[in-house]
C-alpha cells in the first residue's frame, strides 16, 4: 500500500511540476541518457532503502535520496531533484557604489517523468523545472553590462515554471525531438567548465555567451538533436523571438502577433585524446543564430533613424580536458573558450570572447574541490564608436573561484571578480566584487 501511495503521490506531483534537467546535466545528451523498459506492475515490488542516513556527511544529497524513497520513485519512472543557492556579494572597490554583503537566492525543483518506465510511451520523457528567486545582489552597483552574480535579476518571483517540455526519441535514440517551454542555454553553446552559475563561474558572461541569446531565450519552441555517431552531434531549433517574462506562458506571442522566431544551428565534434592516465575528452562547437527582431541602426547624426532585423550571428566554443590525475574520476585540468560575432551596424558590442582554466582536486585529499580562473571581454562595434559614442571601449572581466566541498551536498564557494571599464563607456574605471556562494542539494 505504501508503494502504491508513493506512486499516486508522485504522479500528482509530476502533473504539477514538469520540466528539464538540473543545471550541469545536458537535456539532450542522447548517449548518456538511457531508458529502461518497464511497467507499473513490474516495479510495484520495489522497496525503499533501509540504510537511510539523511544529513550524513558522505551521502550525495542532504535527504539521502528523499529519505530512501528516491529509489522507489526512480523505479516507477519519477526522478526529483531540489537545489538551493544563496550568494553573499560585496563591491569592495570602484563601481557605482560600494557595500555589502548583499544576499540573493535561487531555488530549483526538477521533476523528470520517464514515460517508458511507466509503461505509457516508449522512448519518451517529460521534464519540469520550477524555480523561485529573490534579490538582485550587487549587480546594479558594479556598472557592468554583465551580472557578477547571474540570475539575480532584481525581481522576486516566489515560484514560476522555467522549463516544461516533452521529448521523444527515434532511431535507437540517435534522434531526439524536444517540444515545449525550453531553456536554450541547456541546448546549444553548452560548456563543460563554464555553463552553470550555480556550480562554476558566477559572472553572466562566463555562464553564457552574451551575443548569443540563449540565457534570455526561454520560451515556447522546439529543438531537434541528431547524434548519428559518438563523435558528432547536430542541433537545430526555433524559439519565440517575442518571448515574455519568465512568469508568462508565451502563447500570446508565439501564436499571435508577428511570426518572429529565433533559429539556431550547431555542429559539435566530440573527441577523446589519448593520455597517460586515460582519455582526455573534449567538445568543439560552431554555430549560427538568426534573429528577426528589428534593432536601431547606428547612423550619422544627419540621417534619420532606421531599424533593421533579420540578423545572423556566428559563434564557436570548446571545452577540453588537458590533464587527468587518474582513470577513476574527473580530477585534473580543463580549459574552455568562447567567441561570437554579430553585425556592427546594430550591436553596440559586436564581438565577444572568453577563456579559462578549471582544476578539480588540485589540493591533495580535496578531490571534489574545484578551482577556476577565467577572463571575458566585450569588444565595441567600430560603427558604434564612430557614429554614437567615441568613448566606447572594451569591457573586460576576470573571475576566480574555489569550490569547497564540505559534504557532497553542501558546497561553499568563495569568489572574486575584477571588471575593467564597467559598461564599456569610460564612466567607471573598474569594479571589484567579492563574495560567497552556498549550494545545498536536497
Percent of the chain past pLDDT 90, that is, above it, reads: 48
pLDDT at 320 over 50: yes
Q: Kindly report the backbone phi and psi dihedral angles of residue 405, in degrees, each rounded to the nearest multiple of 5, phi listed first.
A: -85, 95
Q: Give mean pLDDT, residues 142-147.
A: 90
Q: How far is CA 150 from the centre of its chain?
A: 10
Which pLDDT does position 30 carry in this prediction?
Answer: 40
Which pLDDT does position 251 carry in this prediction?
Answer: 61
pLDDT at 244 over 60: no
Please tell me the total number of residues recorded for the chain in this structure: 442
For residue 194, the 8-state DSSP code is S
Which pLDDT does position 19 carry in this prediction?
Answer: 34
Q: 76-80, 344-348, 366-370: which range is least confident on average?
A: 344-348
Which cell numbers hold the place of 245?
Answer: 517574462
Q: pTM to 2 decimals?
A: 0.83
Q: pLDDT band at residue 433, thresholds of 50, 70 and 90? A: very high
Structurally, the chain folds into a number of domains equal to 1
- The pLDDT mean for the chain works out to 83
Which pLDDT does position 250 carry in this prediction?
Answer: 62
Q: Which residue has the higher pLDDT, 77 or 19?
A: 77
Contact (Cβ atoms closer than 8 angstroms) between residue 113 and residue 18: yes
Q: pLDDT band at residue 413, thresholds of 50, 70 and 90? A: very high
Which pLDDT does position 441 carry in this prediction?
Answer: 94
The Cα 85–Cα 22 span in angstroms is: 13
Residue 140, domain extent: 2-441
Of 126, 24, 39, nearest in space to 79 by CA: 126
Contact (Cβ atoms closer than 8 angstroms) between residue 266 and residue 188: yes
Q: Give mean pLDDT, residues 10-16.
A: 37
pLDDT at 260 over 50: yes
The Cα 378–Cα 247 span in angstroms is: 30
pLDDT at 23 over 50: no
Q: Which residue has the higher pLDDT, 18 or 285?
A: 285
Q: Which residue has the higher pLDDT, 158 or 372?
A: 372
Q: Which residue has the higher pLDDT, 307 or 328?
A: 328
Which pLDDT does position 298 carry in this prediction?
Answer: 77
Residues 80-117: tens digit of each pLDDT: 999 999 999 999 999 899 988 889 999 999 999 999 99
Residues 57-83: tens digit of each pLDDT: 888 888 888 888 888 898 899 999 999
Q: Give mean pLDDT, residues 225-253.
A: 79
Contact (Cβ atoms closer than 8 angstroms) between residue 292 and residue 240: no
The Cα 87–Cα 106 span in angstroms is: 9
Cross-strand bridge partners of residue 361: none
pLDDT at 215 over 90: no
| CATH code for the domain in which residue 298 is found | 2.40.160.180
Instruction: Kindly report whether the peptide bond that precedes residue 101 is cis, defined as omega within 30 degrees of 0.
Output: yes
pLDDT at 332 over 50: yes
pLDDT at 16 over 50: no
Q: pLDDT band at residue 126, thresholds of 50, 70 and 90? A: very high
Amino acid at each position: 500500500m505504501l508503494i502504491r501511495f508513493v506512486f499516486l503521490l508522485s504522479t500528482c506531483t509530476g502533473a504539477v511540476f514538469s520540466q528539464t534537467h538540473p543545471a550541469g546535466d545536458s537535456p539532450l545528451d542522447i548517449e548518456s541518457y538511457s531508458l529502461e523498459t518497464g511497467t507499473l506492475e513490474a516495479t510495484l515490488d520495489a522497496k525503499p532503502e533501509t540504510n537511510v542516513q539523511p544529513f550524513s556527511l558522505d551521502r550525495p544529497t542532504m535527504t539521502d535520496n528523499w529519505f530512501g524513497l528516491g529509489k522507489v520513485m526512480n523505479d516507477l519512472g519519477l526522478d526529483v531533484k531540489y537545489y538551493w543557492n544563496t550568494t553573499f556579494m560585496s563591491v569592495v572597490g570602484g563601481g557605482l557604489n560600494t557595500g555589502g554583503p548583499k544576499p540573493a537566492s535561487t531555488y530549483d525543483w526538477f521533476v523528470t517523468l520517464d514515460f517508458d518506465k511507466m509503461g505509457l510511451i516508449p522512448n519518451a520523457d517529460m521534464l519540469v523545472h520550477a524555480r523561485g528567486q529573490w534579490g538582485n545582489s550587487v549587480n546594479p552597483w558594479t556598472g557592468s553590462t554583465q551580472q557578477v552574480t547571474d540570475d539575480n535579476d532584481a525581481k522576486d518571483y516566489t515560484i514560476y515554471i522555467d522549463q516544461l517540455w516533452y521529448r521523444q526519441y527515434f532511431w535507437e535514440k540517435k534522434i531526439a525531438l524536444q517540444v515545449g517551454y525550453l531553456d536554450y542555454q541547456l541546448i546549444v553553446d553548452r560548456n563543460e567548465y563554464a555553463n552553470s552559475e550555480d556550480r562554476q563561474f558566477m559572472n553572466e558572461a562566463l555562464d553564457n555567451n552574451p551575443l548569443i541569446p540563449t540565457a534570455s531565450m526561454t520560451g515556447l519552441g522546439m529543438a531537434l538533436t541528431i547524434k548519428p555517431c559518438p563523435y558528432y552531434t547536430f542541433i537545430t531549433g526555433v524559439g519565440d523571438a517575442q518571448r515574455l517574462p519568465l512568469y508568462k506562458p508565451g502563447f500570446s506571442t508565439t501564436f499571435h502577433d508577428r511570426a518572429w522566431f529565433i533559429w539556431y544551428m550547431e555542429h559539435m565534434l566530440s573527441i577523446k585524446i589519448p593520455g597517460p592516465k586515460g582519455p582526455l575528452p573534449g567538445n568543439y562547437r560552431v554555430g549560427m543564430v538568426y534573429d528577426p527582431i528589428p534593432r536601431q541602426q547606428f547612423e550619422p547624426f544627419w540621417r534619420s533613424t532606421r531599424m533593421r532585423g533579420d540578423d545572423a550571428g556566428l559563434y564557436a566554443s570548446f571545452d577540453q580536458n588537458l590533464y587527468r590525475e587518474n582513470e577513476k574520476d574527473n580530477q585534473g585540468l580543463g580549459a574552455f573558450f568562447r567567441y561570437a560575432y554579430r553585425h556592427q551596424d546594430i550591436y553596440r558590442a559586436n564581438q565577444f570572447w572568453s577563456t579559462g582554466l578549471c582544476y578539480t582536486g588540485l589540493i591533495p585529499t580535496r578531490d571534489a574541490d574545484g578551482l577556476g580562473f577565467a577572463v571575458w571581454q566585450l569588444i565595441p562595434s567600430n560603427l558604434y564608436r564612430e557614429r554614437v559614442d567615441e568613448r566606447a571601449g572594451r569591457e573586460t572581466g576576470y573571475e576566480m573561484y574555489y569550490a569547497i566541498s564540505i559534504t557532497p551536498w553542501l558546497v561553499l564557494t568563495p569568489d572574486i571578480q575584477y571588471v575593467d571599464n564597467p559598461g564599456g563607456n569610460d564612466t567607471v574605471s573598474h569594479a571589484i566584487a567579492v563574495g560567497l556562494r552556498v549550494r545545498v542539494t536536497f
